[in-house]
Structure 1
Amino acid sequence: MSGKTRKTIIYSALEVANICGVVNQTAINWIRNGYLTAFNTPGGQYRVYLDDLIDFMKERNMRIPDDLLNAAGRKVLSASFLIVDDDKGLNTVLAKFLQREFKDATVYQAFDGFEAGTLLANKKPSFIILDLSLPGVDGFKLCKKIRESADYGNPFIFVVTALNEDGLEAKVKELGANEFSRKPLNLTNMAAMCRKYFGTD
């Protein structure tokens, strides 16, 4: 079956906006500016084919819901985590917890900046748990680099730290972190956050 014959699922601009987490006007602007392929109904409304929406989201490193991929007959990629923390005990606890909570997920572990860089480049994990205090690397700079580099696939960044400095949360979010927590971590809350991100809650 060709890709063209699968183009039977069609979305309105509002539905596209809801899927991408933006307002309706933003989706309309994407269409009008030629970023997102669409066509007009006889009534002048925009409509977008499923395959065109998926291609648009993929090109911009946007997370694509599994139901969209399934509907288009495309491979669903399992969630993947990267834990970056030099505390081997905590790193292992987090890895085992994530593997238990997300059985289909792949969990990678890095204990220093070099390992983290290698795994980020080669594996492109979708969710990163990043400790700010790492040997041989500035955690703040690493956070900024992950967010700014298209090579890493625009992952979710969850920064964790034992530091007690004021203003840390605001600082790391300015650098691109999605969420922030001080240690010790609440694993139940972390799991809920992961499920919300991956759309499995």
Structure 2
Amino acid sequence: MAKDSQIHIVYSALEVAKICGVVNQTAINWIRGEHLKAFTTPGGQFRVYLDDLIDFMRKRNMRIPQDVLDLYEQGSAKQASVLIVDDDKGLNSVIAKFLEKAHEKIVVYQAFDGFEAGVQLVDKKPKCVLLDLDLPGVDGFEVCKKIYNSEEYGKPIVCVITALEDEDLEKEVKEMGAVEFFKKPLNLVEIANRIKKRLHLED
């Protein structure tokens, strides 16, 4: 098990198996069957983020060892960070202020273009990214896919906001890794509530 300065805790398949009380092959089968989200190291070994393991175990009503739960809760308290990526500075700031007031543990970072978003993603490693698909000069779909697939960003939760009119859009972005989809004009209460739920923050 290893963790970096951003409290991103990672387990091997064997460690996952021990935590869940199963044999190693069962954990590997969960991963290969895409039941348990994981990534592969350059050496071909599976690795699982603590957040993904907790989500997996909760969905299956599995008992979570207290020491693992403590690590998760400690990390969550420090990771309730949200990066808002929207070139509309006025809207970006309105969302930022609303989220900061929505919960005392939420820390908000802002980016107004694709380049700035990339810098913030690497530097801050936010827990959640609220991404506007309509950034000028940037393919929002590719940004969404890159955030989801790249390990260097710490695998944040991706929530998409857009003013684009396309009935298939939500399905497309969720296939690229987004977990939430919000149409403009935005309902800030709904956004705040869903983000708090994703970050496991209680009111």
For this structure pair, what is the TM-score category when the shorter chain's length is used for normalisation?
0.5 to 0.7
For residues 100-145 of structure 1, what are the alpha-carbon distances to aligned partners after superposition, in whole Å with 9 as ceiling and x for unaligned?
1122222100000000000011111001100001123110000000
Alignment of 1:129-148 (within 5 A): 129-148=130-149
Equivalent in the alignment of 2:25: 33
For the residues of structure 1 that align with 2:92 and 2:153, how far apart are their CA atoms? 21
Distance 1:34 1:122, change over 3 A: farther
Match of 2:51 among 50, 63, 71: 63
Aligned-pair Cα RMSD in Å: 2.9
For the residues of structure 1 that align with 2:196 and 2:176, how far apart are their CA atoms? 24
Report the TM-score, using the length of structure 1 for normalisation.
Answer: 0.67
**What's the secondary structure of 1:117's corresponding residue?**
helix
What percent of counterpart residues are identical?
47
For the residues of structure 1 that align with 2:173 and 2:67, how far apart are their CA atoms? 32
Deviation at 1:194, TM superposition (A): 1.5
Check whether the contact 1:86–1:112 (CA below 8 A) recurs between aligned residues.
Answer: yes
Alignment of 1:95-106 (within 5 A): 95-106=96-107
Deviation at 1:78, TM superposition (A): 3.6
Distance 1:71 1:156, change over 3 A: closer
Check whether the contact 1:125–1:155 (CA below 8 A) recurs between aligned residues.
Answer: yes
Report the TM-score, using the length of structure 2 for normalisation.
Answer: 0.66
- The total of aligned residue pairs comes to 154
Q: Amino acid of the residue matched to residue 49 of structure 2? A: N
What stretches of structure 2 of length at least 5 have no aligned partner?
Answer: 1-15, 29-46, 55-65
Distance 1:119 1:147, change over 3 A: same
**Structure having the higher Rg:** 1
Equivalent in the alignment of 1:164: 165
Deviation at 1:173, TM superposition (A): 0.7
Check whether the contact 1:61–1:153 (CA below 8 A) recurs between aligned residues.
Answer: no
Equivalent in the alignment of 1:155: 156
